[in-house]
Amino acid sequence: MKKRKRLFIFIVSLVLTILVLPKFFSPTKQPLELLTFSPQGEKVDVDTVITLELTAPPDIATLEQHFTINPAVPGQLTVDDSTILFTPEAPLQYSTHYAVTVTEGVQTKQGSVLDEPLTLAFTTTDQPPLTIMAMGDIMLDQLTRQKLKEYDPTYPFLRVKELLKQGDVIFGNLETPISARGTPLAGKKYTFSAAPFSVQCLEDAGINMVSLANNHIMDYGEEALSDTLNILAEHNITSAGAGMNSTQAHSGTILEIQGYRVALLAYTDDFAVPAQHRALWQASEQKPGAAIVHDTNRIKADIQRLRTKADLVMVSFHWGYEYTTNVAAEQQKLGHLAIDAGADLILGHHPHVPQGVEIYKGKPIVYSLSNFVFYPFANRPETQDTFILQAKYENGRITALSLIPILGGNSQPYLPQGQELDALTSRLAQLLPRLGTSFEVTTDSIIQIKLPVD
């Protein structure tokens, strides 16, 4: 009897030990809770990383099952101790409300469980205006080539590059191929080709978009054009207006920057090319070359195609007559056609001197940006007059347009001062009333074009 009683007591004790007592001695599991998170509130930067700090390190496998962002954002989810980090693959959308949700069921290795969902929210900042800085002809041969040897690749833009870099899109007309190959065309009075290292000049100035459609791009033949395209691409400088066939020459380019998609198309007249070389200049499906202005139906089709793919469509025309500030009727007709087809901004060059700005249907046509980096022309001081066009784009339209007076110098443009600045500003301002363009001159001699207000 005593043995049975002792056995019973032993069994009961064993059961208590196995089933009951651990509940008194094992630590209590705390629920998984949120301590802090970021970002939060409004005006959050689009380059943000989302972080949530919990009371214990979560298990990544269960976290991935219960973590969502709305609207959906591709990215990488990681855990650093007790902190959850979500790093988006690309910047978030501007002016967007995001909700981050972690639903119940996330566990820790210690067995704690998130027993109620977490929902966090924030709103990204509004999209900032896009700033465009545009300049005229960039000549990296002749005197510029000599200066590069004498100085260094920073020489041409040294005195204006800080101003240029205030832009997001920095545009110029590259008036020469960049190559160590090819031979100059026989029978053409002026032929240019820049050394391959010259691309460093563009890179140093922050230039990220150029037109190649001009009367010098084929001066050294197809090999030099091919090198130019490759060298620019290697340095992340987008280009338009020339290519290894007509499809490429007419395709244009799109630069994605600051959340905007900025398109550029470029075309050149060929009247400045000797008649025997005009067939060489025009790209076809079988040969390299440039996009030529004569096929207006194709120009309209090109603009309409890119209009569906880009926020802002710019068109560059190498047109007009040299050394005159007067706008030719054919320039105006083509500029209007491009705007009617859907272009937002027309950028002209070739005359080597400034021409006026017309506001057509609320959109700017800049008929000639003049020379920019160029050697001085003998007995033509007017070719030293130039400007940087500064444009602001936001809410689907150009909202501000300014001309910043610049003088050419010896292949090194600069901002003039004093009487030199006053005289240049006056010469530039005189070009605008001819085209019915209203403006005002600021106290620092910047010419601000008056744009229509919706």
Contact 262, 314 (CB under 8 A): yes
pLDDT band at 153 (very low <50, low <70, confident <90, very high): confident
Q: Is the pLDDT of residue 246 over 50?
A: yes
**Mean of per-residue pLDDT scores for the chain:** 92
- Residue 266, SS3? strand
Stretch 373-388: mean pLDDT? 94
Q: Please give the structure tokens belonging to residue 130.
A: 């896009």
Alpha-helical (H) ranges within 137-263 are 143-150, 161-164, 199-205, 221-234, 246-251
The residues, ordered by sequence, that sit 6+ positions from 138 with a Cβ below 8 Å of its Cβ are 156, 172, 173, 174, 175, 176, 202, 207, 210, 372, 373, 374
Torsion of CA 408, 412, 414, 418, to 10 degrees: -70
Question: How far, rounded to the nearest angstrom, does the alpha carbon of residue 198 sit from its chain's CA centroid?
Answer: 22
How far CA 77 is from CA of 67, 83, 101, 343, in Å, comes to 9, 11, 13, 42
Q: Other CB atoms closer than 10 Å to residue 50's CB: what's the count? A: 23
Q: How confident is the model at residue 265 (pLDDT cuts 50, 70, 90)?
A: very high
29: tokens are: 């599991």
- Helix or strand holding residue 209 (H, E): strand 209-211
With 80 as the cut, is the pLDDT of residue 10 above it?
no
- Environment class of 418 (CB within 10 Å of its CB; exposed 0-12, middle 13-18, buried 19+): exposed
Nearest to 295 by CA among 346, 327, 254, 337: 337
Query: What would the pLDDT profile of 404-449 be if each residue is shown by its tens digit?
Result: 999 999 889 999 999 999 999 999 999 999 999 999 999 999 999 9
C-alpha to C-alpha distance for 46 and 90, rounded to whole angstroms = 9
Residue among 349, 289, 294 nearest 316 (CA): 349
Least confident among 2-11, 174-183, 317-326, 349-358: 2-11
Could you tell me the CA-to-CA distances from 400 to 39, 129, 256, 359, 418 in Å, in that order? 33, 10, 21, 12, 26
Q: Please name the residue that has the structure tokens 């101790």.
A: 81
Q: How confident is the model at residue 26 (pLDDT cuts 50, 70, 90)?
A: very low
Helix, strand, or coil (residue 54)? strand
Q: Which of 148-157, 164-173, 232-241 has the lowest mean pLDDT?
A: 148-157
Give tens-digit pLDDT for 327-343: 999 999 999 999 999 99
Whether 25 has a pLDDT exceeding 80, the answer reads: no
Please state, in angstroms and rounded to a whole number, the distance separating the CA atoms of residues 337 and 300.
8
When pLDDT is cut at 50, 70 and 90, the band that residue 14 belongs to is: low
What predicted TM-score, i.e. pTM, was given to this entire model? 0.86
| Whether the Cβ atoms of residue 176 and residue 201 lie closer than 8 Å to each other | no
Q: With 80 as the cut, is the pLDDT of residue 367 above it?
A: yes
Q: Backbone dihedral region of 176: left (phi > 0), alpha (psi from -120 to 50 degrees) or beta? A: beta
6 — pLDDT class (breaks 50, 70, 90): low
pLDDT of 43 reads 94
Q: Above 70 in pLDDT, residue 72?
A: yes
At 107-128, the pLDDT tens digits run 888 888 988 898 999 999 999 9
Backbone angles phi, psi at 32, to 5 degrees: -75, 125
**CA distances, 10 to each of 1, 17, 20, 21, 347 (Å):** 14, 10, 15, 15, 98
What confidence tens digit (pLDDT) does each residue in 279-304 have? Answer: 999 999 999 999 999 999 999 999 99
Contacts 24+ apart (CB under 8 A), 43-47: 43/123, 43/124, 43/125, 43/126, 44/92, 44/122, 44/123, 44/124, 44/125, 45/124, 45/125, 46/91, 46/92, 46/93, 46/94, 46/124, 46/125, 46/259, 47/91, 47/92
